[in-house]
Amino acid sequence: MKPGYGKSQASLGVWFWRAGRFFHTRARELRAIVKALISTEHPFLVHIIPTRRCNLACTYCNEFDDFSEPVAVEEMKKRLDILADMRTSIITISGGEPLLHPELDEIIRHIRRRGMIAGMITNGFLLTKERIEQLNRAGLEHLQISIDNTMPDEVSKKSLKTLDQLLELLGNYAYFQVNINSVLGSGVKDPEDALRIAHRAVALGLTSTVGIIHDHDGQLKPLGPREIEIFEEIMTLSKRSFSRFNEFQHNVARGREHQWRCRAGSRYLYVCEDGLVHWCSQQRGYPGIPLAEYTPEMRHREYFTEKFCAPKCTVSCVQQVGILDNWRAPQTLKPLPMTPASPPSSPEPQLVRIATTRGDT
């Protein structure tokens, strides 16, 4: 194998493009934060679903099926245009499995054309060297893969054994930032797996996060003593992590309720494959309004609405967005009646990302 640069075997050309995209994205992120601190009138982060279909069937997941057709690319562009007109800063493409969408690259390009930061959450199974290079050309800026164990089992095939070669490909060829998520908590057979996965990610020059799986009743349950040790070690793999400044992750790990002001429906939006706006993936149906009909007045109301699920919330991305506004604008309104929505496909435990470490990306 020819010598590489940094922790991976990436060529000098890849490192040049990766560094350029990294610093360009960081500058845009800083501008987005400044804009969000100055004004509360626009979404900061939106998760958008181009397809609900997935090529896997992890038993804890309630966000997929095996039959849905992808949303037409022109419809996706219309939705992205609406979000851009709202002055949205960041779009994360999720699913289902977004790599199953035949026009994914065009969706990413449209996000970039409209001046928004483009990220994606994927299980990684469909990545190849050629597919990574296509995502480079499309302009992807962030990618996250969740790895649940070191060896595949009946719960999840997303293991280090099955994905390790793909991680090497990402370390060698991706221009975009890559984060690897591992898990702790209920249902995890060997908590040491999270530590092995985190160390492997950092060794490849990728970033690493750790998540906690909770039971289907949604109650916060503290980690055991050894799990707490693993959690803290992953947290300290890098002292440059922004999430280290968020008390939320420590509360979740210890089963404590968290007092904060959830701005879902305003600063954070979840737009499902049907084009409806929801608070988040775990509260589909609130408010359940078509994106094209979602007015500034509705966003303003949700900004000041106290969410009944907030104290026991385990949705990290919403918590991170909340940091922008926890210090201001007390919430005094109550939620409107729920719009009927289809029930989740599975009552199994849920996954939440709570902590970040990074390598030499």
Band of the pLDDT at 350, cuts 50, 70, 90? Answer: very low
The answer as to whether 1 is a domain residue is no
Region 138-153 average pLDDT: 93
pLDDT at residue number 115: 97
Q: Which amino acid is at 265?
A: G
DSSP-derived secondary structure letter, 190 = -
Band of the pLDDT at 5, cuts 50, 70, 90? Answer: low
- pLDDT greater than 80 at residue 293: yes
- pLDDT greater than 60 at residue 344: no
The answer as to whether 6 is a domain residue is no
pLDDT at residue number 351: 45
The answer as to whether 122 is a domain residue is yes
The answer as to whether 17 is a domain residue is yes
pLDDT at residue number 49: 97
Calculate what percentage of the chain has a pLDDT beyond 70: 86
CATH code of the domain containing 113: 3.20.20
Query: What are the pLDDT digits (tens) for 99-141?
Result: 999 999 999 999 999 999 999 999 999 999 999 999 999 999 9
pLDDT at residue number 244: 53
- pLDDT greater than 60 at residue 182: yes
- pLDDT greater than 80 at residue 183: yes
User: Which strands, in side-by-side order, build the sheet including 45-48?
Assistant: 287-290, 276-278, 268-271, 45-48, 90-93, 117-122, 142-146, 177-185, 207-214, 350-357
Region 318-325 average pLDDT: 93
Which domain range does residue 208 map to? 12-357
- pLDDT greater than 60 at residue 356: no
Least confident of 75-79, 137-141, 302-306, 350-354: 350-354
- pLDDT greater than 80 at residue 336: yes
Region 145-172 average pLDDT: 91
Query: What are the pLDDT digits (tens) for 34-45?
Result: 999 999 999 999
The answer as to whether 3 is a domain residue is no
Region 209-223 average pLDDT: 67
The answer as to whether 251 is a domain residue is yes
| Residue with the larger pLDDT of the pair 61 and 4 | 61
pLDDT at residue number 219: 52
The answer as to whether 5 is a domain residue is no
The answer as to whether 199 is a domain residue is yes
- pLDDT greater than 70 at residue 214: no
**Burial (CB count <10 Å: 0-12, 13-18, 19+), residue 283:** buried
Calculate what percentage of the chain has a pLDDT beyond 90: 61
pLDDT at residue number 155: 79
Q: How many CB atoms lie within 10 A of CB 34?
A: 10
pLDDT at residue number 91: 98
Output the CA–CA distances (angstroms, integers) from residue 345 to 52, 207, 270, 282, in the order listed: 11, 31, 18, 12
CB neighbour list of residue 39: distance below 8 Å, 6 or more residues apart: none
Region 306-314 average pLDDT: 89
The residue among 242, 324, 327 whose CA lies nearest residue 39 is 324
Query: What are the pLDDT digits (tens) for 237-268?
Result: 755 445 555 677 778 888 888 889 999 999 99
Count Cα neighbours of 88 within 13 Å in the Cβ-side half-sphere.
Answer: 29
- Backbone region of residue 190 per phi and psi (left: phi > 0; alpha: psi in -120 to 50; beta: other values): beta
pLDDT at residue number 186: 65
Largest CA distance in the chain: 61
Band of the pLDDT at 48, cuts 50, 70, 90? Answer: very high
- pLDDT greater than 70 at residue 212: yes
| 318-348 core/surface letters (b: 16 or more CB in 10 A; e: else) | bbbbbbbbeeeeebeeebeeeeeeeeeebeb
Count structural domains, the chain: 1
pLDDT at residue number 345: 45
pLDDT at residue number 1: 45
pLDDT at residue number 220: 64
CB neighbour list of residue 245: distance below 8 Å, 6 or more residues apart: none
Are 46 and 83 in contact by the 8 Å Cβ rule? The answer is yes
As a whole number, the mean pLDDT across the chain is: 87
